[in-house]
Structure 1
C-alpha cells in the first residue's frame, strides 16, 4: 500500500509538471504569434536561420547539462520550431482583414 501511495504522489507531481510544461509551451506560442505580427507589420522575413541556430544550440547545451540525449532535444525543438514557423506563416501571409490569423 505504501508503495502505491508513493507512486501516486510521484505521478501527481509529474501531472503538475506537465501542466506547467504545457502552459509554458502555450506562452511560447503566444510570443511567437506576437513576433509574427511584428514581422508582418515591419516586413521582416519569417525565416531567421541564425535565430533557429541559437535556439537549437541552447537546447543542445541543456541536453548536455541534464544528461538528456542531444538527438531527442533536437527532434523536440525541430517540432516546436516547425509548428511556430507554420503559425508565423499563417499570420504573416494572412489577408489584410486578418482572416487567417
Structure 2
C-alpha cells in the first residue's frame, strides 16, 4: 500500500509535468496569434477580406482528424478551435481596422 506522502510526491511530480505542458501550450497559442497578426497585416496590405470560411473549415477538419486518430473527443476539439478561431478573428479585425504599422510610429 502506498503511503500518503509518497502518493503526494508522485502526484506533485505529475502536476509539475502538467505545468510544463501548460506553459508550452500557452507559448504555442501566443505564437499562433502572432502569426495571425502577420496574416492580418498581409490581408490589410493586399485588400484580402478578413473572414476566410474555407480556411476555418480546413483548420477544423484537421483538428477533427487529429482527434479521431489520437482518441481525443471531437466535440472538445471543435469547441477549443471555435474559441481559438474566435480570438484570432478578433485580433485580425483589430489589426486590419487599425493603423498600419508604419503609421503607428
TM-score interval (norm. to shorter): over 0.9
C-alpha separation in 2, matches of 1:90 and 1:4: 46
C-alpha separation in 2, matches of 1:66 and 1:13: 20
Corresponding residue for 2:58? 54
TM-score (norm: length of structure 1): 0.92
Q: Which one has the largest radius of gyration?
A: 2
Q: CA deviation at 1:98?
A: 4.2
How many residues align structurally? 99
Corresponding residue for 1:78? 82
Q: Hey, which bits of structure 1, 4+ residues long, moved more than 2 A?
A: 95-99
Q: CA deviation at 1:92?
A: 0.6
Corresponding residue for 1:6? 10
C-alpha separation in 1, matches of 2:87 and 2:98: 16
**Consecutive unaligned residues in structure 2, runs of 5 or more:** none
**Consecutive unaligned residues in structure 1, runs of 5 or more:** none
TM-score (norm: length of structure 2): 0.89
